[in-house]
Amino acid sequence: MLLILDKDGTLVTPKSGKKFVQYPQDQMLLPGVEEGLLKTLDFGIEMVIASNQGGIAMGYKTEAQAIEEMIFCMNLCPSTFRFALFCPDMDGDQCILVTPTGSFEPIGKGTKDASLMLDELGVNPDDVPSFYRKPEPGMLYAAMLKIGATPEECLFVGDREEDEQAAEAAGIEFQAASYWREHAAHTCL
């Protein structure tokens, strides 16, 4: 089983009260997240984060700051995330995989993993202009490929319409973040 979670508005909110995270440590868990993650951990379910980070392309933060932000978030959460994926560009040409210990690697449409993923799906890379940026399913496919999960074994939790659209495009069950935070501590996937 694999639980994929959006980050901003799903797991965390800015401590500063601003609309967006201002610096990596400007994050606090939303109510219900700690309990939900601990319950998920009790069941041995793999967990990853998939987050659009358009602030990089818009010049509000650097890729290095986004990597620090992902590391801080994964370590803020009372669970063991395998990794976080984030899309730094508005075109959706790549995503970055970050581990809780700070290692990272870019994943782009031209990489071996992406080529295998697209081949398995029968998709021509030229037909996927914005593959990784949600509402496109690329980050969700990358998470499944890295973990070895099928869409039937996954749940994606997010707070925005593009999260739900990405889940639908990937064939993954979707749950609204507000519902998950309220009920995850009492149930399991």
pLDDT in tens, 118-170: 666 666 656 555 689 999 998 998 899 889 899 999 999 999 999 999 999 99
Residues 6 or more apart whose Cβ sits within 8 Å of residue 103:
none
Query: How far is 46 from 48, CA to CA, in rounded Å?
Result: 7
pLDDT of the residue at 93: 84
Reduced to 3 states, what is the DSSP secondary structure of residue 144? Answer: helix
Q: How far apart are the C-alpha atoms of 109 and 92, rounded to whole Å?
A: 9
pLDDT at position 33 is 95
CA–CA dist 13, 31 (Å, integer): 10
Q: Distance between CA atoms of 95 and 92, rounded to whole angstroms?
A: 7
Counting as low any pLDDT under 50, the low residues of the chain are none
Q: Return the pLDDT at 79.
A: 76
- Are 51 and 70 in contact by the 8 Å Cβ rule? The answer is yes
Assign domain 2-183 to its CATH architecture: 3-Layer(aba) Sandwich (3.40)
- pLDDT attached to residue 133: 94
